[in-house]
Amino acid sequence: MRVSQNELQAKTDRYLFNYDTKFNKDIICGSKGLYVYTASGHKVLDWISGQMSYLLGHGHPEIVKVIADHAASLDHLFSGKVSSPVISLGERLCNLLPPGLDKAFFLSTGGESNEAAIKMAKVYTEKFEIVGLGASWHGVTAQALGLQYHFSRKGQGPLMPGMLALPPPNTYRSIFRCADGSYDWEAEMEYCWRMVNMQSCGSLAACIVECIQSSVGMHVLPTGYFAAVKRQCENRGMLLIVDEAQTGVGRYGDLVAINHEGVVPDILTLSKTIGNGLPLSAVVTSAMIEHVCTERDYCFYTTHVNDPLPGAVADKVLEIVVCDGLAEHWRDMGKLLHEGLSKLKEKYGCIGDVRGRGLMAGVEIVESRETQTPALALGKAVGDRAYELGLWANLSSHPSFGGIFRIAPPITLSKEYSWYHASAILRTRNQDM
């Protein structure tokens, strides 16, 4: 049933607070599978999985059943109680992760899980300085926000003390180059950690890293980067926290992206994908870290910690991903996606770079490959035209990382959709915009 787009837009303008985003002009009134449906009747392929979260697609029938069952029989509890769905989730998750990630608890958002992880590292090490990569996105709670260096820092006075920045790895744009022009990330890392040493007051507790820096345009950390960061942390008595909000639970091509690198972090955080769109996140660490933190009265007690309904959903998500071999499916679909996008890059000079891994991809639109100048207006025109044709891929528009399409489709993507709709993003280049 259609409703008045103009009426809903007017109510949006009157009643909804602007939290620093320009709302899309179309009001969404429904979703199913790969698609969302607007109030005006437009059917749009959702190639970013909601907020990079709908791992199994919108309205997956098994997930819908779990939600309905637990809404009727076991939805929410006092935070000091534990339930069978949460015990099952903890068992399943820890058994799927490498040894050393043995204990888990569950919260609501990625920012909340990162806040809990940072506090855990501080309590365990009894130090307070945290290192993060510039261009990261870890959330908007106090400590997580302090580790974001390109966005959402203004207008609130001093942020959390002890937050230090490493420049973000950027294969496409970094000034650190070998003689042959290739990216010299090892020289960059050594230089950056020397800068950390100069800034530190001697209380380095942890470093937090994403496997793919999605918000800044899907930048994949170079092969070997995690092992090198782990060594830097160990040399300083720091913990390594890995934030897998978007890469976790198979989208990367492995169940968790760190498996691809062969590195076990001290603390792992998951969110977005593990709840298939429901607000759920996880903090996973070692039994040793849990023991020490418990002795030192670590506390992260929230209203919705270990809630049974979202816990049951996450347990079902993991069951489906493992039993149906979906991580392997993602790997195959990701290969097809990146092959298609690379063909588009060969054809269109406005594509400066195609990057990513698994079913995560970034397509950077530039004025020319020689200057690498972001083409913000062209990127918007391409994105608008693709949306008219029924495809939604998020275009980063912030000046610090603009002109980049971020692609992260649900696992229900098929071969037919992969190439056809990848082509749709940029085949409109020769049309009037």
Percentage of the chain beyond pLDDT 70 is: 92
* Single pTM value for the model: 0.91
Q: Over range 345-349, report the average pLDDT.
A: 93
Looking at the structure, tell me whether residues 228 and 87 fall in a common domain: yes
The Cα–Cα gap between 115 and 208 comes to 11
Query: Which pLDDT score is estimated for 14?
Result: 87
Q: Over range 244-249, report the average pLDDT.
A: 90
Indicate if the pLDDT at residue 429 is higher than 50: no
Would you please indicate which residues are annotated as catalytic (active-site) residues?
137, 210, 243, 246, 272, 406
Cβ burial 197-215 (10 Å sphere, 16+ → b, else e): eeeeeeebbbbbbbbbbbb
Cα maximum dimension of the chain: 66
Out of 323, 347, 381, a domain closes at: 323
Looking at the structure, tell me whether residues 106 and 241 fall in a common domain: yes
Instruction: Give the highest mean pLDDT range of 115-124, 209-218, 320-329.
Output: 115-124
Indicate if the pLDDT at residue 419 is higher than 90: no
Q: Over range 282-293, report the average pLDDT.
A: 98
Q: Over range 252-275, report the average pLDDT.
A: 90
Looking at the structure, tell me whether residues 54 and 146 fall in a common domain: no
Looking at the structure, tell me whether residues 314 and 196 fall in a common domain: yes
Number of domains in the chain: 2
Looking at the structure, tell me whether residues 196 and 329 fall in a common domain: no
Looking at the structure, tell me whether residues 19 and 108 fall in a common domain: no
Looking at the structure, tell me whether residues 154 and 87 fall in a common domain: yes
Supply the DSSP symbol for 275: G
Q: What is the DSSP string of 220-233?
A: EPPTTHHHHHHHHH
CB-based contacts of 30: which residues, under 8 Å, 6+ apart? 36, 37
Looking at the structure, tell me whether residues 76 and 139 fall in a common domain: yes
The Cα–Cα gap between 344 and 338 comes to 10
- What is the domain extent for residue 77? 63-323
Where does the pLDDT of residue 422 fall: very low under 50, low under 70, confident under 90, or very high at 90 and above? very low
Looking at the structure, tell me whether residues 269 and 350 fall in a common domain: no
Out of 262, 294, 323, a domain closes at: 323
Average per-residue pLDDT for the chain: 88
140 HSE (CA, 13 A, CB side)? 7
Q: Over range 25-53, report the average pLDDT.
A: 88
